[in-house]
Chain A
Amino acid sequence: MLVTWKYRPRNTFIQRLDPRTRLIFMLCIIFAFTIPEIWDYRIILPLFALSLTLYLMARIEWKDVRRAWIYIFILVFFIVGLNGLLSGRGGPSSVTNLPSPVVFEVPIKIPFTEIGWDVPVTVSKIWFALNQMTRMITMAILAIPIPYTMDPNIYGTAFKRMGASDKVSFTMDLAFRFLPTFARDFTITMDAQRARGYEMEKLKGGIPTRIRKLAPLIIPVVMQSTVTGEEVIDAMDLRAFGTRQRTWVKDNLKYAPRDYLILGIGVAAFVSCCVLKWVFGIGEYFVPDFFMSLFV
């Protein structure tokens, strides 16, 4: 059985918004960054501030979202940030080629060999990593509150009213609930194996051995997910899902003036980014002088 996120009704501006508004606004910001490829901090920071304002207006308690943020921070800092810092990849190729002062070098060596080299970390790469992390966090700020502040009963309806098919809409409904279900199964499996003397913190051996020793956790969780998926399919088949055009009883979604306001801001942000980049040439990657002066 699929479970839902820790949703709680709150009397906030964000929760009074139509769910479609929030999804469309989030897409506008993501597209504003990605389609015209905005790397200019003068555009990124205002969008970050706008997203942060909406996030704070949702009034979500830290303890509710702490785990999600830890995961996002790990992803952003250690994967996106370090990747950008060391390789300069994941963004405009010009970053790696840009002549820029070297701040320090990171020695990298292939284990068990003498092969290695020094990776120069330049001012340009540091600025790029900061930019990239800010972009990612801006998008995360909009995405993280959704499961905690959007009624799970209208996930499917929201997508349906955005024009998706019945199957896509209900798939999105199920997909939203998959992650908390996965987390619940992982916790139960962890408890079950700990009760058999399994201690993950005491795993010994090299990386392949350690990965192999994670099997008691990974296999039951994957199996449970598979079984849950099959059960959901059977349960839906037994009640004739997908055989004809579906009626969505709870589809009383209606845009209010506040929705038009937020949608207007979102669309304006997207259009502005496109115009700035493609008409005025503003939005390209560059290292601002104040940042360069910190190192040179």
Chain B
Amino acid sequence: MPNQPLIIENLTFKYRTRPELALENISLKVNPGELLLIAGSSGCGKTTLARCINGLIPRSYRGERSGQVLLHGREVADMQISEIAQVVGTLLQDPERQIVASNVFNEIAFGPENLGLPRAEIINRVDQAISRLNLEYLRERETFNLSGGEKQKVALAGVLTMNPSILMLDEPLASLDPASAHEALEVFRSLADEGKTVILVEHRVEDAIDARPDRLLYMEDGKIKYLGPIRDLPPEIDHTKVKLPAPWVVQRVKALDKVPAATPKPEAGERGEPLVVFENVDFRYDEEYPLVLQNVNLKIYPGDLIAVLGPNGAGKSTLVKHAIGLLKPTRGRVLVEGEDTRKMSVAQIARTLGYVFQSPTHMLYAPTVREELEFGPKNLEFDPASIPQYVNESLLTVNLKGLDEYPPLGLSFGQQKRTTIAAVLAMRSKILIMDEPTAGQDFANYTRFMKALCDTSDNAQSILTANFAATIFITHDLDLAVTYANRVLLFGDKHIIADGKPQDVLKDDQLLRKYRVRPTSLLRLNLDLLPRTGRFLPAESLAAFA
């Protein structure tokens, strides 16, 4: 077998259903033991490139392909899928899409079983993968009960048992809490050090740096814009399109001499009557199950911009589902504008609270984006004359203007996600709740809509200022909390561990690590500069103080 694991020569691809080229003239050689980071914003072609390498193009995704993709000297298009699967192990963005078996052992053994290997060999491979990733405690667990981080590790173990020489990791950090993401990156690095070729597709360059990539491939519009060592990243790579470490952003902003003005966030605190009150709330899904929430007390006030942080599976979504009335407390009560949620329907509460679910496919149904956005306001019996204005403003906020007559189910995942956010924005609820709003979004897009939703400066034309009394977002992205929140809830061990201003909650490094929140470069820079800034600021604004 030739030693060069992957050679791509003049690869061009166009999907059958789309007019534009998805990849254009890509050439690349990847070495054994190399960790290559592929970055770029949504639609830049990085996922298409991954599909060309793992053989899903041309097998599952049809289109016009030219050029060559050689795995150890053999053209991918000429190989059987079983042959490719033994060379390229693919870890998908969402582990839920990858796991097919109902039990961890079966899942990890699934690939070697399909290869028809002897039973002893399969068990040996499974044991090795389990030991390699420290998964002994999960061995006989049901897969659907695992946390996001555990699912990702199990999916990776399932890939490793195929013993591939190339690992293709497609945004593997998207559903992981920061500590799990860091652990995963350490595993990727060690696999590269052991001689595997690791291709990591990730738009959050800052996070991926923890894996110490040997080279960065930066793509825009289906073309390679940069390929080289990550430290030599040329300045033309736009820090607003991919997430770079905060000190790099500061350097770039200074070099460009375009330091934006720092905009103040409203102070969190008791201003008038609370909109939502949790009083001694306990909750369990069933009598035989343990508590998910225990003695939760919380008040949400007008002006709050709350980031909810905490580990995978801690109960953050369960907490906010109580506010919207989808779940009722086992003990205690939740009041929305003074009324007990047990006495209100979800539709009644929806006038006060708008809730954006994690997965867009569970929500979208209408033939056009515009009709999708009209659905909520019509259900709430808004004045028909005002609905078009609400819809247009919402489309503008999430950067979907021009797509109003498209079918939402035909849009990309990122666009679908923004459609669901816009659909809730159009309802003009008093409180906006978003569950992982940035999942599946590229950096540029989520920065844009988070800025529109949360930036409260006079010039920002903020949706919050205009409509929402409070915004709550559940996130694993600590920088969202640093940049946009004026109040942080750290949730873990079934209750609220810390609640306060970002600079108060996030300064406790030990507490953050205990609850699997890893400090980022932006947090560290903000903490360093706090005596001069007086508050947390986005990386660009820190350039004025650094």
Q: Interface of A with B (CB < 8 Å)?
A: 1-4, 152-153, 155, 173-174, 177, 185, 188-189, 191-199, 215-220, 223-224, 227, 231-250
The reply to whether the CB of B17 lies closer than 8 angstroms to some CB of chain A is no
Q: Are the CB atoms of A1 and B375 closer together than 8 Å?
A: no
- Identify the 5 closest CB pairs spanning chains A and B, nearest first: A197-B379, A243-B82, A240-B82, A1-B96, A219-B365
Q: Are the CB atoms of B347 and A199 closer together than 8 Å?
A: yes
Q: Are the CB atoms of B99 and A196 closer together than 8 Å?
A: no
Contacts of A240 in B (CB 8 A): 81-82, 85-86, 111, 114-115, 162
Q: Are the CB atoms of B365 and A1 closer together than 8 Å?
A: no
Name the one of B85, B321, B423 contacting A238, with C-beta atoms under 8 angstroms: B85
9 A-B pairs with CB atoms under 8 Å apart are A152-B102, A153-B103, A191-B357, A195-B354, A199-B347, A233-B60, A235-B92, A238-B85, A246-B113
Q: Are the CB atoms of B355 and A4 closer together than 8 Å?
A: no
Name the one of A227, A231, A244 contacting B116, with C-beta atoms under 8 angstroms: A244
A-contact 0/1 string along B97-128, CB 8 Å cutoff: 11111110110011111111111001100000
Q: Are the CB atoms of B346 and A238 closer together than 8 Å?
A: no
How close is A54's CB to chain B, nearest CB, in angstroms? 25
Which residues 360-416 in B have Cβ within 8 Å of A in the complex?
Answer: 361-366, 375-376, 379-380, 409
- A-B interface contact total, Cβ < 8 Å: 168
CA distance A240 to B96 in the complex (A): 18
Contacts of B119 in A (CB 8 A): 247, 249
Q: Are the CB atoms of B97 and A235 closer together than 8 Å?
A: yes
Q: Are the CB atoms of A1 and B363 closer together than 8 Å?
A: no
Residue of B whose beta carbon sits closest to that of A215: B365
Q: Are the CB atoms of B346 and A194 closer together than 8 Å?
A: yes
CA distance A235 to B90 in the complex (A): 9
CA distance A128 to B52 in the complex (A): 62
How close is B36's CB to chain A, nearest CB, in angstroms? 19
Q: Are the CB atoms of A247 and B117 closer together than 8 Å?
A: yes
CA distance A264 to B139 in the complex (A): 37
How close is A24's CB to chain B, nearest CB, in angstroms? 22
Which residues 265-323 in B have Cβ within 8 Å of A in the complex?
Answer: 321
The reply to whether the CB of B424 lies closer than 8 angstroms to some CB of chain A is yes
Once A235-B92, A239-B85 are accepted as A-B contacts, the answer to whether A153 and B102 lie under 8 Å apart by CB is yes
Residue of A whose beta carbon sits closest to that of B123: A249
CA distance A81 to B178 in the complex (A): 57
CA distance A70 to B111 in the complex (A): 40
Number of interface residues of B (CB under 8 A): 67
CA distance A173 to B106 in the complex (A): 12
Name the one of A173, A195, A244 contacting B324, with C-beta atoms under 8 angstroms: A195
How close is B414's CB to chain A, nearest CB, in angstroms? 16
Contacts of A177 in B (CB 8 A): 102
Q: Are the CB atoms of A249 and B85 closer together than 8 Å?
A: no
Q: Are the CB atoms of A244 and B355 closer together than 8 Å?
A: no
How close is B203's CB to chain A, nearest CB, in angstroms? 21
CA distance A197 to B111 in the complex (A): 45
Name the one of A196, A223, A234, A238 contacting B409, with C-beta atoms under 8 angstroms: A223
Once A239-B162, A241-B114 are accepted as A-B contacts, the answer to whether A195 and B326 lie under 8 Å apart by CB is yes
How close is A106's CB to chain B, nearest CB, in angstroms? 38
Contacts of B106 in A (CB 8 A): 153, 249-250
Q: Are the CB atoms of B122 and A249 closer together than 8 Å?
A: yes
How close is B176's CB to chain A, nearest CB, in angstroms? 16
Residue of B whose beta carbon sits closest to that of A231: B97
Contacts of B354 in A (CB 8 A): 195
Residue of B whose beta carbon sits closest to that of A227: B361
Q: Are the CB atoms of A243 and B427 closer together than 8 Å?
A: no
CA distance A250 to B60 in the complex (A): 30
Q: Are the CB atoms of B355 and A195 closer together than 8 Å?
A: yes
CA distance A111 to B102 in the complex (A): 49
Once A197-B350, A198-B347, A235-B97 are accepted as A-B contacts, the answer to whether A1 and B144 lie under 8 Å apart by CB is yes
The reply to whether the CB of B456 lies closer than 8 angstroms to some CB of chain A is no
Q: Are the CB atoms of A235 and B350 closer together than 8 Å?
A: no
Q: Are the CB atoms of A238 and B359 closer together than 8 Å?
A: no
How close is A219's CB to chain B, nearest CB, in angstroms? 4
Name the one of B56, B86, B353 contacting A237, with C-beta atoms under 8 angstroms: B56
